[in-house]
Amino acid sequence: MLSLWSDNVELPQFKSLEGDLKADVLIVGGGLAGLLTAYFLRQEGIDYALVEGRSIASGVTANTTAKITVQHGLIYHRLLRQFGLEQAQAYLGYHYKALKKFQELCQSIDCDFEEKDAYVYTLSDRRIIEKEIAAIQKLGFAADLSDTLPLPFPTSGAVHFPGQAQFNPLAFIKSIAPGLNIYENTWVNDIIGHTALTEKGNIRAEKIILTTHFPFLRAGTYFLRMYQDRSYVLALENGQDVGGMYVDAAEKGMSFRNYRDNLLIGGGDHRTGKKGGNWTELEQFVQKYYPQQWISHRWATQDCMTLDGIPYIGSFSKGKPQLYVATGFQKWGMTSSMVSAMILTDMIMGREEKNAAIFSPARSLWHPQLVINGWEAAVNLLTPSQKRCPHMGCALKRNTAEHTWDCACHGSRFSRTGELLESPANKHLKNKN
């Protein structure tokens, strides 16, 4: 099941590592965050290398809906309440910088970049929309209320963000990747000090950056700080032109955007390893509202959800000063990837800004979600199962929609024959089939 992007773009290929290697900076993970970091480090003249266990952009980046927006659900009134004016402005400001950087880079890249307005709508609670607009305006940014949306069902209003964007992420990567120092099919099994261990050679670097979606190292308690959420997409050929990008304020709602002549509908979300709506929910929606439309593509993706809804970008942990991380992008991986690349490049170059503190992995862990994550892990560790996840031994659950084995503890996924599909596990199942 290929996404629209994977079905339309052929990416460049890179050799795998053969033998040992030295570099000033090693980037582990070849999704958009890692590739943008490599792109910026090359511009700075830094000696770097990027390694990817499979092929670049073959994971979450290939399966995004590719909205480039600072509109991250109804987040800003919560950020104001939890972190205060300065930190909330920093979050919004960094993502606006990311949006502007994409606009700048895409001027010379053929990647179907389009400026589009973004909307977060509600089906019933207009008050939360008004509350969010007031928060955004307090932060000094533009947003307003929209009463009428071109969606096939009634809404009670939406927060309208003008001047956002969308693109084809793989076409973008096809342009920036050539010339980067990349090694594909080079799986990092462990990191000891300044050395990354692979089956094909060891890589020594003064600084190591993990952009592997979910960190595979157990250090840093990221396995308690995050869980993973699965969501699904259908593409309708010659679908309705909705004119912008839309997402429901409700956690389990649907999203909409166009790509060329296709209408992309996203939803069916559930915690990885749990039951959820998946494509069945989307198919029922299409049957109700677009019964004459043909489904040309279907795909699924996975998002790392943090305790407080903010990515972890910066130093991996106090005990590992040579190690950096970018993870927990929630459902906003395009701007968060760019923010990560900008912040990590600044840190490598000694230009760290204090405003980046809101993304620091060292921020407080105390949050109700921590208890939920710990409980889920404990339950699944004690659940009998023939198949166990090699990451931390949790029970694997059968995902009948995608014919995979999924871990409800931390979100690792495996094919029906045991091949690893998603981290944080970094090895296949021992007993395949």
* Secondary structure (DSSP) of 151-197: SSS--S-EEEEEEEEE--HHHHHHHHSTTS-EE-S--EEEEETTEEE
What pLDDT score does 384 carry? 79
CATH superfamily of 368-422: Rieske [2Fe-2S] iron-sulphur domain (2.102.10.10)
Round to whole Å and give the CA distance between 209 and 56: 16
Short-list 368, 391, 366, 394, CA closest to 381: 394
Q: 401 is written with which tokens? A: 């929609």
> Which position has the higher pLDDT, 45 or 277?
45
Question: In this model, does residue 249 exceed pLDDT 90?
Answer: yes
Q: Summarize pLDDT for 264-276 with one digit per residue, the tens.
A: 999 999 999 888 8
What pLDDT score does 273 carry? 87
Q: Summarize pLDDT for 291-300 with one digit per residue, the tens.
A: 999 999 999 9
Question: In this model, does residue 352 exceed pLDDT 90?
Answer: no
What pLDDT score does 431 carry? 62
Q: Summarize pLDDT for 402-413 with one digit per residue, the tens.
A: 999 999 888 899
Round to whole Å and give the CA distance between 372 and 272: 14
What pLDDT score does 184 carry? 98
Q: Where are the domains of the chain?
A: 368-422
> Which position has the higher pLDDT, 347 or 394?
347
What pLDDT score does 220 carry? 83
Q: Summarize pLDDT for 73-85 with one digit per residue, the tens.
A: 999 999 999 999 9
Note whether 306 and 361 are within 8 A (CB). no
What pLDDT score does 353 carry? 75
Question: In this model, does residue 219 exceed pLDDT 90?
Answer: no
Phi-psi region of 37 (alpha: psi -120 to 50; beta: other; left: phi over 0): alpha
In this prediction the pTM is: 0.95
What pLDDT score does 129 carry? 97
Note whether 165 and 175 are within 8 A (CB). no
Short-list 164, 165, 117, 114, CA closest to 145: 117
Buried b (16+ CB within 10 A) or exposed e, 5-40: bbeebebeebebbeeebebebbbbbbbbbbbbbbbb
**Distant-in-sequence, close-in-space partners of 181: CB < 8 Å, separation ≥ 6:** 23, 38, 42, 48, 49, 50
Q: Residue 98, class by beta-carbon neighbours within 10 Å (0-12 exposed, 13-18 middle, 19+ buried)? A: buried
What pLDDT score does 48 carry? 98
What pLDDT score does 371 carry? 77
Q: Residue 146, class by beta-carbon neighbours within 10 Å (0-12 exposed, 13-18 middle, 19+ buried)? A: middle
Round to whole Å and give the CA distance between 406 and 401: 11
Q: Summarize pLDDT for 419-429 with one digit per residue, the tens.
A: 989 888 888 88
Q: What mean pLDDT do residues 156-174 have?
A: 97
pLDDT band at 35 (very low <50, low <70, confident <90, very high): very high
Provide the mean pLDDT of the chain. 93
Q: What mean pLDDT do residues 183-199 have?
A: 95
Q: 244 is written with which tokens? A: 């912008």
> Which position has the higher pLDDT, 382 or 116?
116
Round to whole Å and give the CA distance between 51 and 315: 19
